[in-house]
Amino acid sequence: MVSEKDLKTAEDAVEATEEVDAIEEVFAEEPVMEEANEQPLQKEIDELKKQNAELQAKLDEAENRILRIQADFENSRRRARLDLEASEKYKAQSLITDLLPAIDNFERALKMEAENEQAKSLLQGVEMVYRGLLEALKNAGAEQIEAVGKEFDPHIHQAVMQVEDENFGTNIVVEEFQKGYLLKDRVIRPSMVKVNQ
């Protein structure tokens, strides 16, 4: 922001320049004066030129300060916009992180064998709730990380075991112990996997 002091400095610089120009015009139009009269006028012209140079330097400094302030303001606006976009993009992250243990428990429950009709119907209900949770995650932008049969990627997989299995290629995920999840382009939780050497 331009202060009144900076504006006054700029106005003073303009006035000083105009005074110097006016005096130089008078010298150009008047006939040659005696040397005694020239010295005081020359001193005044020199003093005005010096003041003009000082005021011009202050004006340049004020302009530079204004440009820096404008650049800082633009940087702040850009940072605030990026923070807002990131906040909006990942707003569901904490909720999804809190839901992941419950989803893990649903997956463990679905691996149980039903011994009678009542247990089968209970498992069907659990599966419906599980699918509903996965659909809600998908709508929020989260998705499961593909692991088994894929090449090990340390950015999205966490190796907890290594095996030597001729049925799989080198550095291929053999088994997944815990599912990993992505939220848009951010890893919320890496997949815990067993990797072939």
Each residue's pLDDT tens digit, 105-122: 888 888 888 788 888 888
pLDDT band at 93 (very low <50, low <70, confident <90, very high): confident
Bridging pattern class, strands 173-178 and 181-183: unpaired
Number of other residues whose CB lies within 10 A of the CB of residue 91: 12
What pLDDT is recorded for position 108? 87
- Are 15 and 34 within one domain? yes
Distance CA 52, CA 49 (A): 5
- Are 77 and 103 within one domain? no
User: What one-character DSSP code corresponds to residue 188?
Assistant: E
Contacts 24+ apart (CB under 8 A), 165-174: 165/196, 168/196, 169/196, 170/196, 170/197, 171/195, 171/196, 171/197, 172/196, 173/147, 173/148, 173/149, 174/148
11-20, 60-69, 124-133: which range is least confident on average? 11-20
pLDDT above 90 as % of the chain: 25
Can you give the residue range of the structural domain that contains 67? 4-89
Q: Which residue has the higher pLDDT, 32 or 75?
A: 75
Kindly tell me if the per-residue pLDDT of 156 is higher than 80.
yes
pLDDT band at 35 (very low <50, low <70, confident <90, very high): low
Bridging pattern class, strands 186-189 and 191-196: unpaired
- Are 81 and 109 within one domain? no
Global pTM exceeds 0.75:
no
| pLDDT winner (highest mean) among 5-14, 27-36, 43-52 | 43-52
Looking at 46, 72, 89, the residue that finishes a domain is 89
Work out the widest C-alpha separation in the chain, in whole angstroms: 126
Kindly tell me if the per-residue pLDDT of 14 is higher than 70.
no
Using a 10 angstrom Cβ sphere, with 0-12 exposed, 13-18 middle and 19 or more buried, the burial of residue 146 is middle
Query: Average of pLDDT values for 48-57?
Result: 92
Count of domains for the chain: 2
- Are 62 and 123 within one domain? no
Query: Average of pLDDT values for 137-145?
Result: 88
- Are 84 and 100 within one domain? no
pLDDT band at 38 (very low <50, low <70, confident <90, very high): low
CATH number at residue 162: 2.30.22.10
User: What one-character DSSP code corresponds to residue 51?
Assistant: H
What pLDDT is recorded for position 94? 83
- Could you tell me the two tokens for 196? 């072939």
Tally the residues of the chain.
Answer: 197
Mean pLDDT, the chain, rounded, equals: 84
Q: Which value, to the nearest 10 degrees, does the dihedral of the CA atoms of residues 58, 64, 70, 73 take? A: -100
- Are 51 and 67 within one domain? yes
- Are 121 and 38 within one domain? no
Residue written as token pair 């400095």: 9
- One-letter amino acid identity for 2? V
